[in-house]
Each structure stands twice: as structure tokens, then as C-alpha cells.
């Protein structure tokens, strides 16, 4: 995975479009587009911004020496309800987790059909 691809994955996992992500990191949308396509390398300020805002693992971002998935190397911002859901879900037994997952799928399908 290239540095640009990693930056794009950080943006997408956190559900930002290029305009929102670039403003949050203090760069132009054009610069972000060029970073994501590996036309240019990010400045030190941009790298530090990613570390500060998204808690990116710099070893993963710069050297790819960790074998972690993108979702393991930085925190996606979540609200309190999502955090509570995750923490409670982790306390469940495997079968209960599957059951809850199926209920969630049913709910999502119901709302997408209406």
C-alpha cells in the first residue's frame, strides 16, 4: 500500500470527502488529491496532522513495518453511543454476537427498503 493509498484509506474510514478532510488537515483539496495519487509526498506538517487528529501509527504510515490493518492503526472518531455498542458487543459470547449482527442486518434492510 502506497503512502497516498494510506492517506485515502484514513479519509474514507473516517467518512470524509476530500474537501472536508483537506480542511481538517489544513491543506487544499488539490494537494490532497495529489497526495492520494502519490504525485507528491506529504509535508511534515501534514504527517503530524494525521498523527494528531486521527492518531495514525506513524510506523505504519511511513515505513509499513507493522502488519496491522488500516482500522487497527488509527482511531476513527465515534460518538458515545457507538462506543457503548462496541464495548457491550465485545462482552457477548460468540453466538450472541452472531445473533446481534443478524438483527442489525435486518434493521438495515428494513430501513433501506422504506
Write down all domains in the chain, each with its CATH number in brackets.
3-72 (1.10.260.40), 80-113 (no CATH)
Give the per-residue pLDDT at 110: 87
Name, in order, each residue with C-beta under 8 angstroms of 24's C-beta and a sequence gap of 6 or more.
16, 53
Tell me what pLDDT residue 76 has. Answer: 58
Alpha-carbon span 41 to 28, nearest angstrom: 14
pLDDT for the residue numbered 65:
63
89 close to 97: Cβ distance less than 8 angstroms: yes
Q: 0.85 cut: is pTM over it?
A: no
Q: What is the pLDDT of residue 93?
A: 93
Q: In sequence order, what E strands does the chain have?
A: none
| Residues lower than pLDDT 70 in the chain | 64-78, 114
Amino acid at each position: 500500500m502506497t503512502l497516498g493509498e494510506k492517506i485515502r484509506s484514513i479519509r474514507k474510514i473516517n467518512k470524509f470527502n476530500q474537501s472536508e478532510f483537506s480542511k481538517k488537515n489544513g491543506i487544499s483539496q488539490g494537494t490532497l488529491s495529489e497526495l492520494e495519487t502519490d504525485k507528491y509526498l506529504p509535508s511534515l506538517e501534514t504527517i503530524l496532522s494525521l498523527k494528531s487528529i486521527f492518531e495514525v501509527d506513524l510506523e505504519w504510515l511511513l515505513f509499513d513495518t507493522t502488519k496491522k490493518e488500516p482500522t487497527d492503526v488509527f482511531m476513527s472518531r465515534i460518538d458515545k453511543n457507538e462506543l457503548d455498542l462496541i464495548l457491550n458487543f465485545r462482552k457477548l459470547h460468540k453466538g450472541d454476537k452472531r445473533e446481534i449482527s443478524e438483527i442489525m442486518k435486518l434493521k438495515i434492510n428494513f430501513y433501506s427498503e422504506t
